[in-house]
């Protein structure tokens, strides 16, 4: 493998399971030293973050676990500090941490609302702010946020919840604004809108372009690509990803819209994305 991220330090929140786990393993496979953040535990009490760290170390990589909650300012600070304390810097932040609680608004309590907003929207803010402080000093960095199509469209079927939709829409706004703010510092900020069968979303969801919903690890290649030096001019973009499908959304987002959609059989590789993505993105 090319080890394109050798010498770089990454943080993956929600890295103990699902898409976050796939991202943490993929970044480590490319040579990044990874902070795997997750508060979750297995049924036997084992930390999910510890399990992923063990996988990375067994494969010859470097990783440490962190168990702080993204939902507090101190948690966000501590998560980033785990990277700077252990690896001397933070080059890559991937915000995958999330929760979900399906219910119609007429059944939603203030606590239900707050729990979703705090983990998703505030959780992105706490980690992005802490990472930005360090990245501005370095004049470099990659921030990759996780939003959802729920932030701009309604899916027929079991309700997501208005709190989840509002949080994910907020992450798109955060990403767009932060990308402009960080550009002069050499920091890119992009968002992924994934589709994958996970524990939070065990059922199939409607797919862009009618493709197949991929496994959680099929989202990792686009994240890894955006973390590389080859993607240094790509910022403020929203990417849909699942299986072999990638869509670069136009803004403002509208369905249907003049989006750039590409598909291949199976999972993308970083090499392929390096060739395919730049011509499709308006470099600003």
Query: CA torsion sign, 67 to 69 to 72 to 73?
Result: positive
Block residue for tokens 């290649």: 221
Residue 11's nearest CA partner among 68, 71, 60 is: 68
In whole angstroms, give the CA distance from residue 22 to residue 277.
21
Is there a catalytic annotation at residue 154? no
Residue in 164, 225, 240, 249 annotated catalytic: 164
In whole angstroms, give the CA distance from residue 129 to residue 63.
22
**Radius of gyration from C-alpha coordinates of the chain:** 17
In whole angstroms, give the CA distance from residue 51 to residue 100.
23
In whole angstroms, give the CA distance from residue 218 to residue 191.
16
Under 8 Å between Cβ of 13 and 95: yes
* β-bridge mates for residue 94, sequence order: 12, 144
How many beta carbons lie within 10 A of that of residue 58, not counting itself?
8
To 5 degrees, how large is the angle CA 30–CA 63–CA 37?
105
Q: Which residues are catalytic?
A: 164
């Amino acid at each position: 493998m090319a080890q394109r991220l050798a010498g770089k330090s990454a943080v993956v929140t929600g890295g103990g399971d699902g898409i976050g786990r796939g991202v943490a393993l993929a970044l480590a496979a490319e040579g990044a030293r990874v902070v795997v953040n997750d508060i979750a535990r297995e049924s036997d009490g084992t930390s999910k973050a510890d399990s992923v760290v063990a996988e990375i170390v067994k494969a010859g990589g470097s990783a440490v676990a962190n168990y702080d909650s993204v939902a507090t300012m101190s948690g966000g600070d501590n998560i980033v500090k785990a990277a700077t304390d252990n690896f001397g810097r933070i080059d890559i932040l991937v915000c995958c941490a999330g929760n979900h609680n399906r219910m119609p608004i007429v059944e939603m309590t203030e606590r239900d609302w707050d729990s979703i907003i705090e983990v998703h929207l505030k959780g992105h803010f706490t980690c992005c702010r802490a990472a930005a402080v360090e990245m501005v000093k370095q004049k470099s960095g990659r921030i990759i946020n996780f939003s959802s199509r729920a932030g701009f469209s309604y899916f027929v079927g079991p309700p997501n919840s208005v709190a989840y939709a509002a949080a994910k829409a907020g992450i798109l706004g955060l990403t767009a604004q932060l990308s402009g703010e960080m550009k002069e510092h050499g920091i890119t900020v992009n968002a992924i809108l994934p589709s994958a069968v996970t524990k939070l979303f065990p059922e199939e969801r409607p797919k862009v372009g009618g493709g197949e919903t991929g496994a959680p690890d099929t989202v990792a290649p686009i994240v890894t690509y955006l973390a590389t030096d080859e993607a240094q001019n790509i910022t403020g973009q929203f990417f849909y990803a699942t299986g072999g499908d990638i869509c670069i959304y136009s803004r403002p987002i509208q369905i249907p819209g003049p989006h750039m959609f590409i598909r291949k059989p199976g999972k993308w590789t970083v090499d392929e994305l390096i060739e395919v993505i730049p011509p499709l993105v308006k470099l600003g």
